[in-house]
Each structure stands twice: as C-alpha cells, then as structure tokens.
Amino acid sequence: MNGPMTISPQQMIHMIRNGLDKTQTPKQITVVGAGIAGLVAASLLKEAGHKVTILEANSMVGGRIYTIRSPFSNGLYLNAGPMRIPDTHLLTLEYIKKFGLPVNPFINRTPADILYVNGVMTRLSIFEKNPEILNFPVRPNERGKSAEELWKLATDPVVQFINKDPERHWPLIEKEFKNQSLGTFLNSFHDQYGTTFSDGAIDMIDVLLDYEAFMGMSFLEVLRETSGLSTNRFYEITGGMDLLPKAFLPQLKEEIRFNQRITKIAQHNQGVTIHSTDPRTFKNSTTTSDLAIITIPFSVMRFVTIEPYHSFSYYKHRAIREINYMAATKIGIQFKSHFWERYGQYGGKSITDLPIRFTYYPSRGIGTSEPAVVVASYTWADEAMTWNGLSDAERIQYALNNLAQIFGSQVYSEFVSGISYSWVDNPHATGAVVAFEPGQENELFPYITIPEGRVHFAGEHTTLTHGWMQGAIESGIRVAHEVNHLPI
C-alpha cells in the first residue's frame, strides 16, 4: 500500500501562488465534482498544461459551499454550508487573497452570549464564574467548574502528551483510543479524585460545547478537531462563502459540464471512462480520459458502479460503504432589525437545550437598524435529524417559537422570511461532513487516498481536516501534485 505524497503547508502555499511545475507529459484528466477540492485540482492541473474536464451533478459550482440568497432581501443570505474560517486555515485564506475576495471578522463567541439551559437564562461570562447557576446535577468535586474546564480536565493530559512530541506520540494516542467513542472516553475518564464524571458533568459538556451530537463519534475525531482549532479568531467572506468557488469560473467555466451525475467508473487499457446522466433529461453521456480524479463524497459514491469491481481494492470498497457522514441542518431567518442587540448580543451565539440548540447572530451590520439574517438553528447528527420530519414552514415556525422563549413575542412581529436546509436531503451530498466512528480512522482512512489504477481521490473525506474548506483545498492540491508528473 503506497500512501499519498506528503506536502508541507509551505509547499502548498507556494503552489497556490505559483502553480505546479509545467508538465512534460500533458494528460487528459476528468475531475468528478466541482466543489472546492475539484476546482482547486482542476485549476492547478490546467495551469500545468493538462486538458481538464469537470463533471458536476449540480447546476452550479461549490458543492457544500452553498450560499442561499432567496427568499431574503437587501442582499442578505444564509451560508448553508461553511460559514466561518479560522485564522489558522492558511490555505483557505491564501486562495481568498489570491482572488482578492473581501472578508470580515466572524464573531464566533462573546462573553455576553446568551445561555438558556435547564430553564435558566444567563450569560456565558456569568456562567463561567458560577457554573452552578445552570443547575446541572454534578458531584461536589465537580462544582465550580465550567463545561470547558471539565473538558480540559479530561483532555489536557492527552493533548499535553501529544504536544511533547507530536510525530511520536500521535500514533500512540491513536492506538490507545482507536476504538473509543467520545461518550466512552468521557464515561471512563477518572479525575484526580479517582472518580468518573457524573452524568450531570457529561451532560453539561455535551449541551454547552455542542458535543451531544458527537457522543457516538470517534474520540480521536473530536480530539483532533478541538486540539487543532486553538483560535478564537474567525473570518467570513463578505457577500457569501460561495464567492470563493465562483472565483474559479473565469478560468474553468469552459471545462465544466453541469448536470452530469456520475453513474459508473469503468477502467480499461485505454484509460478510464466516466458514465454520467443528466438528472433533468435522463440523457446518458460518457467521458474518457487518461486519468480521473473523484472528489464527490463517498456517501454519493455508494450509488456509483465500479467496473471491473476489483479495480478498486477491498478496503476502498469498504471505506466507500462504511465511512460515516453526519447530518447537519440550518434554519435561517430574516428579521426587520437587530433586536437581539438590545439584549447585549452583538454577534456571537446563544446556546440552549431547546431543539434549535445553537443560534448565530450576524457579525456584519452591528449597531445598524437594517434587516439581518440570523442562523436561528444550527444542529448536527441526531439533533439535526430531529428536524427532518418537518416541512420547511414547520421548521421556521418551531425555530421562531424557540427564539420567543429567549427574546419574547417580538420575534413574531420582527419576522420577515426564513428558509431551512438539511444536507441529508441534498442528493449530491446525502450528508454534511465525514465524522469517523470508532475504529474507522485506523482501519479505513489509510486506504481512502490510495489511487485505484487510473482513478485518484480528493475531497474533505480524504484528509483529517473534516468539515472545513481547508481540508478540501488541501486534498485538491495534494491530488493535483500527485498526478501532475505521472506518465500517460
């Protein structure tokens, strides 16, 4: 088994700025998927001298970088996919800089964030000074500790061990915790008093840190996410996150064939043929090339025929079949004014144990009397699936009802319009992001990026930076570098 090439972040930034080396063996390459991974790979390969064709099942670029502008007015929008960029995600920021896209700070958290949990209304800053205010039934030795303090109590020893020598210690941690879920880890953790966390302490961590939806996920997945996100500074693209994938269109618009849903990958002596169908007309098409780069989610690949079957390894078939994709649902509501600012909520979020769970307030237009769109609800996994049996109108109504418990009946008179979006319902994704279940990282991840004959792979699922544009961009650069100098 040969793993993917290792490229440093500095090398990747150099490639974004200067491109790949010009190829001496130009190839015909089919890229399946015009999400950010496919666009990055196609852009670099075209610049290097290859002939690129992009097949996209949708009628637009971007994949899960999706910005909804209707039914909102005044140029407002909802980022149904990614909505923030950590300042540590240098590849994403480098492409934004390359295209000259405007950004503004994304206020992810403030001391004044509203908490409404267990029937108690308070502020984040007040809770952190007096965690008992929310009435979680914790043990005496857990009293006085906030959710973050409890989380750090459990994870800091692991993180500190890793940080002493990441190259040597990460594999040891992976081996020790490879089969543990987050729930198993928290329930088996022994603190300095020799006792495990109480149910109340675990519930506090789950509710306030948004881990309730991740309890069945791999502990390693959650640990990597939290340890790698050591920043409180975030940005957003002013005008909508979809401006990033759209910035590739001047270079690639002639190479993209929209409304081409892949149905079969057939490898043969002459190359690889991608079979696709137009979902509007059911017209079938074929595209033959020297190589193919598959960037679509494995959740969608499950519906694609592989011919011959054994052209993909046993473990690649398993990864396609088994890798876990999480549900995610957002509800966006336009209000007439920034009424939440009268309560001291300027950007940031509110957290509740009501079905809406997390509400994010706009970071732009603070202090104005303009209309604004609020992410009224952002939920994951089972919490997101709770909304799936409801119509769009019902989701909006229940979200308003939940917000009314926090802000009162004014939410109804302030309401203008709303929309909801569930990634499980998207036929081109059938899920939001990869979130490994226990054991999947060790058993299956090493095989995800391995080329299968003439077929190569990219997408956020082929990295360990799941759920972020950074991971998808990284994979696009990696796969472009991987195929650039291959012989025909």
Using alpha carbons, select from 391, 381, 244, 295 the residue that is nearest to residue 58. 295
Asked whether residue 3 carries a pLDDT value surpassing 60, the answer given is: no
Is the separation of the CB atoms in 394 and 289 below 8 Å? no
pLDDT in tens, 32-65: 999 999 999 999 999 999 999 999 999 999 999 9
Q: At residue 192, does pLDDT exceed 70?
A: no
What is this structure's pTM?
Answer: 0.95
Residues annotated within a binding site = 56-57, 81-84, 460
Mean pLDDT of 407-418: 98
Higher pLDDT, 137 or 190: 137
Find tokens 């929310």 and name the residue: 134
Q: Give residue 5's pLDDT.
A: 61
- Residue 4 pLDDT grade (very low, low, confident, very high; cuts 50, 70, 90): low
Q: Which pLDDT band, with edges at 50, 70 and 90, does 226 fall under?
A: confident
Cα distance between residue 193 and residue 154, in whole Å: 12
* 261 band by pLDDT with thresholds 50, 70 and 90: very high
The predicted structure's pLDDT at residue 476: 99
* pLDDT value of residue 334: 99
> Annotated binding residues for substrate, as ranges?
84
| Mean local confidence (pLDDT), 173-183 | 92
How confident is the model at residue 50, as a pLDDT? Answer: 98
Mean pLDDT of the chain: 95
pLDDT at 375: 99
Binding-site members for FAD are 56-57, 81-84, 460
Amino acid at 192: Q
Contacts of 366 (CB under 8 A, 6+ apart): 338, 341, 346, 347
